[in-house]
Structure 1
Amino acid sequence: MIELTNVSKTFTLHNQGGAVLEVMRGASLSVPAGQCVALTGESGAGKSTLMRIIYGNYLAASGSVVVGGVDIAKAEPREILRVRREVLGYVSQFLRVVPRVPTLEVVAEPLLAQGVAPEAAKDRAADLLQTLNIPEPLWSLSPTTFSGGEQQRVNIARGFAHRFPALLLDEPTASLDAKNREIVLGLIEEAKAQGTAIVGIFHDEAARDRVCDREIDVTGYAPKKVA
């Protein structure tokens, strides 16, 4: 479902005379349906960079990034948007939404984009918000006013609203108390059982040990420095 082959990434430093900085080389990764792979490595090793390459926020300099049969590294923007809408979900650390849109609509939006009937989409959104302990009086308010933990749970609800075949999770249990952490881990296990291929960053070692089938240390993809 997610297949990376010999991926490299460079950044052009325009404020430094156009110098090219190589940050990743030879990254390869295969995640079949129903498996969860954790990206590990010290801060700055490239975990978030690799996630953004998979999602198409960063363009790979070389190699292939195949998600659901589409090579994100070579696809047209409209095709990448289709993959994000139908195939590849992304739960980031931060909730980014249009201000003043009610929380229930924020969570239902991925389903509405799929053509799901509004009533059914909102029912699914309500179920997730209830499961994740977001009080019903808040559903009609914009989540931009919520606490960090509440925003994270809204973000998770939004990410799990549509049953994506592939899913990227960036620290899904950070900032959560024990009760809500357990609920999120249950959602991940349920998604795996339904065949979702997952790539995630989990600094919570216990969570990683529980839901991940294997780990990839991205430090091994750092370009070798010449002495």
Structure 2
Amino acid sequence: MIEVRNLSKSFTLHNQGSAEIPVMAGAKLSVRRGECVGLVGQSGAGKSTLMRMIYGNYLAAGGEILIGGTDVVTAAPRQVLALRRDTLGYVSQFLRVVPRVPTIEVVAEPLLRLGTDPEEARGRAAALLARLNIPERLWSLSPTTFSGGEQQRVNIARGFAHPYPALLLDEPTASLDAQNREVVLTLIEEAKARGAAILGIFHDEPARARVCDRLVDVTAFTPGRAA
């Protein structure tokens, strides 16, 4: 479902004479349906960079990123947007939303984009918010006013609202208490059981051991570093 082949990336330092800094070369990995693969490696090795390339936030210098047959590297912007809408979900570490939009609408939005009946979409959003212990009195408020842990749970609810066939998770259990951590790990296990291909960064080692089927050390793809 997720296939990365010979992927490379460099950054251009425009304020330093346009110097090119290679950050990744020869990256390769695959994630099958119903499998969770964890990215590991030293800090700065490129775990988040690789995730952002797969999601299409960073443009790769070369190689292929196949998501259900679509190559993100060469896809047109409209194809990337369609992939994000239908196929590829992403739970980042930080919630980025339009201010003043109610929390329940934030979580329901991926379903509404797909044309889901509004009542059904909000019902699904409400169920996830309740499961992640966000009090109902907060659902009509903007999550921009919430604590960091509450915002993370809203982000997770939004990411799991639609049953994406492929899912990227960037530190989904960071800053969560034991109760909510258990909810998130169960959501991941349920997604695997329905056949989702999941790629994640988990610094929480017990969580990683529980949900990941395999690990990929991205240090092997970092120029100038040994695995």
Amino acid at match of 1:81: L
Partner of 1:51: 51
Aligned equivalents of 2:75 and 2:19: distance in 1?
26
* Structure 1 residues 31-54: Cα deviation after superposition (integer angstroms, max 9, x where no partner): 010000000011101000000010
Residues 99-178 of structure 1: matches in 2 within 5 Å?
99-178=99-178
The equivalent residue for 2:29 is 29
When normalised by structure 1's length, the TM-score is 0.98
Q: Which AA in structure 2 matches 1:42?
A: Q
**Equivalent AA in structure 1 for residue 142 of structure 2:** S
CA distance in 2, matches of 1:206, 1:217: 17
Inter-partner Cα distance in structure 2 for 1:8 and 1:37? 20
The C-alpha deviation readout for 1:152-195, integer Å capped at 9, x for no partner, is 00000000000000000000000000000000000000000000
Q: CA deviation at 1:68?
A: 1.4
- The structure 1 segments of at least 4 consecutive aligned residues displaced by more than 6 Å after TM superposition are none
**Gaps (5+ residues) in structure 1?**
none
Number of residue pairs the alignment of both structures matches: 225
Residues in 1 aligned to 2:215 and 2:167: alpha-carbon distance in whole angstroms: 16
Q: Post-superposition shift, 1:224? A: 3.2
- Residue 94 of structure 1 aligns with which residue? 94
Superposition RMSD on alpha carbons, in Å?
0.7
Q: Deviations over 1:52-76 (max 9, x none)?
A: 0100011110100011110000000
TM superposition shift of 1:204: 0.3
Task: State the alpha-carbon separation in 2 of the partners of residues 137 and 108 from structure 1.
Answer: 17
Unmatched 5+ residue regions in structure 2? none
2:95 maps to amino acid:
L
Question: Aligned partner of 1:87: which letter?
Answer: T
Q: What amino acid does structure 2 have at the position aligned with 1:206?
A: P
Residue 206 of structure 1 is matched in structure 2 by 206
Partners of 1:58 and 1:98 in 2: how far apart? 22
SS in 1 for 2:50: helix
Give the superposition deviation at 1:89.
Answer: 0.3
Q: Which residue of 2 aligns with 1:182?
A: 182
Distance in 2 (CA, whole Å) between partners of 1:26 and 1:133 is: 42
**CA-CA distance at 1:27 after TM superposition:** 0.2
Q: Distance in 2 between matches of 1:10 and 1:177?
A: 37
Normalised by the length of structure 2, the TM-score is 0.98
Cα deviation 1:122-164 (Å, max 9, x = unaligned): 0000000000000000000000000110000000000000000
CA distance in structure 2 between the partners assigned to 1:106 and 1:162 by the alignment: 13
